[in-house]
Chain A
Amino acid sequence: MEKKFLQTSIKDSLFTGLIALALFGPIVGLRTVAKNEVLEVHPKWFIVLIIVVVCAVGRFLTNLYVYNRDQKTGIQSSIGKSISNFLDTKGYQIALTAIIFSVIFPFLPFTDRYLMDIAIMMLTYIMLGWGLNIVIGLAGLLDLGYVAFYAVGAYSYALFAIHFGWSFWICLPIAGIFAAMFGVLLGFPVLRLRGDYLAIVTLAFGEMIRILLLNWYQLTKGPDGLTGIPRPSFFGLPFKSFPDEGEQTFHTFFGIEYDPMQRIIFLYYLILVLALITNLFTIKIRRLPIGRAWEALREDEIACKSLGVNPRNTKLTAFAIGAMFGGFAGSFFATRQAFISPESFTFIESAIIVAIVVLGGMGSQTGVVLATVFLIGLIEVFRDFESYRMIAFGGAMVLIMIFRPRGILATRKPTITLEKSSS
Chain B
Amino acid sequence: MDTAYFLQQLINGVTLGSVYGLIAIGYTMVYGIIGMINFAHGDIFMVGAFIALISFILFALTSIALPIVLLLTLLIAMVFTACYGWTVEKLAYKPLRKSFRLAPLISALGMSIVLQNYVQAAQGARIKTLQPVIQGGFTFMEDTGFTVSLSYLQIFIVLVTIILMAIFTLLITKTALGRAQRACEQDRTMTALMGINVDRTISITFIIGSSLASVAGMMFVMYYGVIDFYIGFLAGIKAFTAAVLGGIGSVPGAMLGGLLIGLIEVFWSGYISIEYKDIAAFTVLVVVLIFFPTGFLGKPDIEKV
Contact = CB atoms under 8 A, between A and B. Distances in A.
B54 A30 contact: yes
B128 A22 contact: no
A354 B60 CA distance: 44
A211 B126 CA distance: 22
Given A27-B50, A32-B123, A397 B57 contact: no
B220 interface: no
B96 A401 contact: yes
Given A193-B293, A201-B286, A302-B303, A22 B130 contact: no
A219 interface: no
Given A30-B54, A395-B110, A208 B83 contact: no
A197 B142 CA distance: 46
B117 interface: yes
Contacts of B101: 195-196
A94 interface: no
Q: 4 closest pairs, A vs B, by CB?
A: A397-B110, A394-B113, A394-B114, A390-B117
B86 to A, nearest CB: 8
Interface string B252-289: 00000000000000000000000110110011011001
Contacts of A215: 275-276
A47 to B, nearest CB: 9
Interface in B71-110: 79-80, 83-84, 86-87, 91-92, 95-96, 99-107, 109-110
24 contacts: A23-B83, A26-B55, A27-B119, A30-B54, A31-B124, A32-B124, A37-B129, A39-B129, A197-B244, A200-B237, A201-B289, A211-B278, A212-B279, A215-B276, A355-B110, A387-B121, A388-B121, A390-B116, A391-B113, A394-B112, A394-B114, A395-B114, A398-B110, A401-B107
For chain B, which range describes its interface: under 10, 10 to 19, 20 to 34, or 35 or more residues? 35 or more
Interface string A380-394: 000000011011011
Interface in A333-358: 347-348, 351, 354-355, 358
B237 to A, nearest CB: 6
B51 interface: yes
Given A23-B80, A211-B278, A215-B276, 14 more contacts: A22-B83, A25-B80, A34-B129, A41-B54, A193-B290, A201-B289, A204-B241, A204-B286, A207-B237, A211-B276, A347-B233, A391-B117, A394-B111, A398-B91
B167 interface: no
B58 A30 contact: yes
B51 A26 contact: yes
Interface of B: 36-37, 47, 50-51, 53-55, 57-58, 79-80, 83-84, 86-87, 91-92, 95-96, 99-107, 109-126, 128-131, 233, 237, 240-241, 244, 275-276, 278-279, 282-283, 285-286, 289-290, 293, 301, 303, 305
A28 B237 contact: no
A211 B123 CA distance: 27
Contacts of A38: 131
